[in-house]
Amino acid sequence: MKPPPFDYVAAADLDEALEALADASVETRPLAGGQSLVPMLNFRLAAPERLVDLNGIDELSRIEETEDGGLHLGAMVRHRQLERDPLIVRRTPLLAEAAPFIAHPQIRSRGTVGGSVAHADPAAELPAVFLTLGARVRIARRSRDGESGSRAERTLALDDFFLGPFFSALEPDELLIAIEVPPSTPGEGTAFDEVARRRGDYALAGVAARMRLNSGGVCEEAAISLVNGGSTPCLMREAARTLVGAEPAPEAIGAAAAACAETSEPAADMHASEAYRRHLIRTLTARVVSRAAARART
């Protein structure tokens, strides 16, 4: 299969990319790693009139520590960097733990964090991981009539960004430019795991968890997100609430796992039934939350 014809713009900087996206007379799509968009083009599932290549924009590839000790990831940071960058490994080990589950090394070397989040695929690992970490996205566009400056920006909690399967809060003239992860706190532990039919396949189900314990070993904060657990990436708030206010004993973890399975909305397909996916969600949640609790204690 070959894509339909399109015009190609290699943006030299962010302003040039935003200028192209602001042109409403032409249907334009940004091109990051191309791991989702290019197959869609080849199968004619997408037919934009113009592609704006972001690979030459240096500011979108930055990995920086924020003033409060959090992490700034430019939208063009590659999946492979999540596994290897010393700052990422030290500050957000959950990203380093989850990244090897993403497809294969060749794909991780091209795919980008911004592309994965903007694509809003409920079967992708990174949306669930970033939700669990309480991340926010920075979004930019060219200034509209009456606005000062060459560009306008807004910051949005990731939980408000995902609106449906493959559907986000991005407007046609907007570009996701960075993901910002808040700093970890003392007593915090994280974990990730998934089950797939083969290494590199989409997960039948996956779970990311974060837990913060006080000095007495009581859970003060918890977050759980699912991979392929519903029609959109989402936090499992009810399940996480069952953990808060108690020590993460097997009974509490079992209750959280049961709540996660019961409130999830996995879809049946040729690879797994809904009942089997719920079974996986329950098993994985118990495993991942137990691991996060153990790490929070150390």
DSSP 178: E
**Model confidence band, residue 76 (pLDDT cutoffs 50, 70, 90):** very high
Q: Tell me, what's the pLDDT at 206?
A: 98
Annotation: CATH topology of 7-53: 3.30.43
Q: Tell me, what's the pLDDT at 233?
A: 93
Annotation: CATH topology of 190-297: Enolase-like; domain 1 (3.30.390)
Q: Tell me, what's the pLDDT at 150?
A: 86
pLDDT surpasses 80 at 146: no
pLDDT surpasses 90 at 213: yes
pLDDT digits (tens, 9 = 90+) for 229-259: 999 999 999 999 999 999 999 999 999 999 9
Mean local confidence (pLDDT), 26-35: 97
CA distances from 114 to 60, 79, 109, 218, 260 (A): 9, 10, 14, 35, 27
Q: Tell me, what's the pLDDT at 37?
A: 95
**Model confidence band, residue 144 (pLDDT cutoffs 50, 70, 90):** confident
**Model confidence band, residue 190 (pLDDT cutoffs 50, 70, 90):** very high
Mean local confidence (pLDDT), 126-142: 98
Q: What is the radius of gyration, based on Cα positions, of the chain?
A: 20
Choice among 97-111, 141-155, 271-285 with the minimum mean pLDDT: 141-155
pLDDT averaged over every residue in the chain: 97
DSSP-assigned beta bridge partners for residue 252: none
pLDDT surpasses 80 at 70: yes
Q: Tell me, what's the pLDDT at 145?
A: 79
Cα–Cα dist 57/16, whole Å: 10
pLDDT surpasses 80 at 1: no
- Helix/strand/coil for 147: coil
pTM metric for this prediction: 0.96
The phi-psi region of residue 118 (left if phi > 0; otherwise alpha if psi is between -120 and 50; otherwise beta) is alpha
pLDDT digits (tens, 9 = 90+) for 288-297: 999 999 999 9
Q: Decide if 161 contacts 137 (C-beta within 8 A).
A: yes
Residue 151, C-beta contacts closer than 8 angstroms, at least 6 positions apart: 14, 15, 18, 140, 141, 142, 143
Q: Tell me, what's the pLDDT at 223?
A: 99
Q: Tell me, what's the pLDDT at 149?
A: 79
Q: Tell me, what's the pLDDT at 2?
A: 86
| SS3 labels along 77-89 | CEHHHHHHCHHHH
pLDDT surpasses 90 at 94: yes
Query: Measuring CA to CA, which residue among 75, 29, 282, 37 is closest to residue 173?
Result: 29
Q: Are strands 136-142 and 71-74 parallel, antiparallel or unpaired?
A: unpaired
- Which part of the chain is CATH 3.30.465.10? 61-181
Axis-axis angle for helices 250-263, 274-297 (nearest 10) = 140
Percent of the chain with pLDDT over 90: 96
In the chain the beta strands, taken as DSSP E runs, fall at 7-10, 28-31, 50-53, 63-65, 71-74, 136-142, 151-157, 162-164, 167-168, 174-181, 188-196, 203-213, 219-227
Q: Decide yes or no: CATH 3.30.465.10 for domain 61-181.
A: yes
Full strand arrangement of the beta sheet holding 151-157: 63-65, 71-74, 174-181, 136-142, 151-157
pLDDT surpasses 90 at 27: yes
- Which part of the chain is CATH 3.30.43.10? 7-53
Mean local confidence (pLDDT), 167-187: 97
Q: Tell me, what's the pLDDT at 148?
A: 74
Percent of the chain with pLDDT over 70: 99
Q: Decide if 63 contacts 50 (C-beta within 8 A).
A: no
- Which part of the chain is CATH 3.30.390.50? 190-297
